[in-house]
Amino acid sequence: MARMRMNQAIAAAIGDEMRENPDVVTFGEDVAVAGGPFKTSDGLLEEFGPLRVRDTPIAEMGFMGAAVGAAATGLRPVAEIMFVEFLGVALDQLVTEAAKFNYLSGGTVRVPMVMRASVGAGLGFGCQHSQVMESWMVGSPGLKIAVLSGPGNAYGLTRAAIRDDNPVAVLEPRILYAVRGDVTTGVEGIIPLGQAATLASGNDITLVSCGSTVRTCLAAAGEADGWTADVIDLQTLQPWDTEAVLSSVARTGRLAVVEECPYSGGWGADIVAKVVSEAFGDLSAPPMRITAPDVHVPFGKELEQRYLPSAEYVTAQVGELLATGESPPHWWERDGALV
């Protein structure tokens, strides 16, 4: 157990895998000499040398492709996309090549690569550098997607991703890089992909979260007055832990999914759709989604904070759901919200 920041936990996870397995290599823009734009590979160049830790040109398609080819021939590359939006110039390699190679080789080629990307809003990077964009990847068969929610699972999920024989996208909420927490290091810290973590237990509602909304939900549940909640951190978005969510909802009878991204096309809709199809009879209230509005991530501290679902907002929405038995309107749908 060690106390560290999330970016340190990521560097530790990559370093521990590199130490155990000479096939693990890592590259990306300013990953080597500078230790990563967010210091998620600090010290790796010094320890593992320039053959295994590399800076790349600004060429996401090029180095994602290099990761695919390296993985297909035996390495376990960890490629960093600095901001997930940059996948917009490289998605082909991840979704259309890497995720399909096993199938397109009759099972003879594995692509054990990791695509790490920083994601999310809250730091004032403006609308081309603040999204999560998991929708670009969810729905791509052959790809796993993990989302970090703090130092502890950052370490464990990153190691699991590197060990996985499938291509894995690891999404790292940028706003959490500096957050400190306890990390179980070593193999026992590895967190299997596909498993959710239930971080709080309660009776009245199941709060499903992922990435940056995990702490939002924990705070919301903490502030709750008159109700208690199961707080589930999905950890892996694809494949997600249906079992954990369904068994919680079977008990609580209510569901709220809390997402950082806009309402349309968000991953929470998948959760809701699955839950209603499997557990319709268990539900005592409509499953609810709490998301950002369908707008670009605004600049400006207040605007950006308003854009993101806050703990207070989650508490209020859940309170209203419990009180009325109906899905409350989103904040931007309420009278006077926009003045």
Partner 1 sequence: MSSEVLARREAVRTDRTARFERMVEIRALEDAVRGLFAEGLVHGTTHTCQGQEAVSVGVAAALRPTDSVCCTYRGHGMGMALGLTPQQVCGEIMGRVVGSIGGVGGSMHLCETSIGLLPTMAIVGAGVPVAAGAALTAQVRGTDDVAVAVFGDGAANIGAFHEGINIASIWKLPAIFICENNQYGEYSPIAATTPIANIADRAVSYGIPGEVVDGQDVDAVNAAVEAAAARARAGDGPSLLEMKTYRYAGHSRSDTAPYRPAGEFEKWYERDPINTFGARLVAEGLLADGEPEKITARVTEQVDAAVAEVKTADSPGVASMFENVLV
Which of residues 43, 62, 69, 88 is near its own copies by CB under 8 A?
88
Which of residues 42, 84, 115, 129 is near partner 1 by CB under 8 A?
129
Asked whether position 167 contacts its own copies by CB under 8 A, the answer is: no
Asked whether position 273 contacts its own copies by CB under 8 A, the answer is: yes
Identify the burial level of 264 via C-beta atoms within 10 angstroms of its C-beta, where 0-12 means exposed, 13-18 middle and 19 or more buried: exposed
Identify the burial level of 216 via C-beta atoms within 10 angstroms of its C-beta, where 0-12 means exposed, 13-18 middle and 19 or more buried: buried
Q: Choose one: 13-21, 44-52, 245-253, 273-281; the region binding its own copies (CB under 8 A).
A: 273-281
Q: Is 99 helix (H, G, I), strand (E, B) or coil?
A: helix
Asked whether position 180 contacts its own copies by CB under 8 A, the answer is: no
* Residue 316: half-sphere exposure toward Cβ, Cα within 13 Å: 9
Site residues (vs ligand TPP, CB under 6 A): 29, 58, 60, 82, 86, 89
Task: Please identify, using beta-carbon distances, which residue of 89 and 246 lies nearer to ligand TPP.
Answer: 89
Task: Please identify, using beta-carbon distances, which residue of 46 and 294 lies nearer to its own copies.
Answer: 294
Asked whether position 276 contacts its own copies by CB under 8 A, the answer is: yes
Asked whether position 261 contacts its own copies by CB under 8 A, the answer is: yes
* Residue 208: half-sphere exposure toward Cβ, Cα within 13 Å: 30
Q: What is the CA radius of gyration of the chain?
A: 20
Q: Choose one: 140-148, 174-182, 253-261, 310-318; the region binding partner 1 (CB under 8 A).
A: 140-148
Asked whether position 69 contacts partner 1 by CB under 8 A, the answer is: yes
Residue 129 designated active-site:
yes
Asked whether position 335 contacts partner 1 by CB under 8 A, the answer is: no
Distance CA 306, CA 313 (A): 10
Site string for its own copies, 111-130 (x = CB under 8 A): ----------------xx--
Q: Which amino acid is at 251?
A: R
Longest CA–CA span in the chain (Å) reads 61
- Select from ligand TPP, its own copies, partner 1, none the partner in contact with residue 43, using the beta carbon and a kind-dependent cut-off of 5 to 8 Å: none
**Least separation in angstroms between CB 59 and ligand TPP:** 8
Phi, psi of 65 (to 5 degrees): -60, -40
**From 52, 54, 76, 129, the catalytic residue:** 129
Distance CA 115, CA 120 (A): 16
- Burial readout 66-96 (b: 16 or more C-beta within 10 A, e: otherwise): bbbbbbbeebbbbbbbbbbbbbeebbebbbe
Catalogue the E-assigned strands of 84-175: 114-119, 144-147, 168-173
Asked whether position 277 contacts partner 1 by CB under 8 A, the answer is: no
Q: Which residues in this chain contact its own copies in the complex, by CB under 8 A?
A: 61, 85-86, 88-89, 91-92, 95-96, 100, 103-104, 127-128, 135-136, 138-142, 238-239, 261-262, 264-270, 272-274, 276-278, 280-281, 285-289, 294-296, 326-327
Catalytically annotated residues: 129
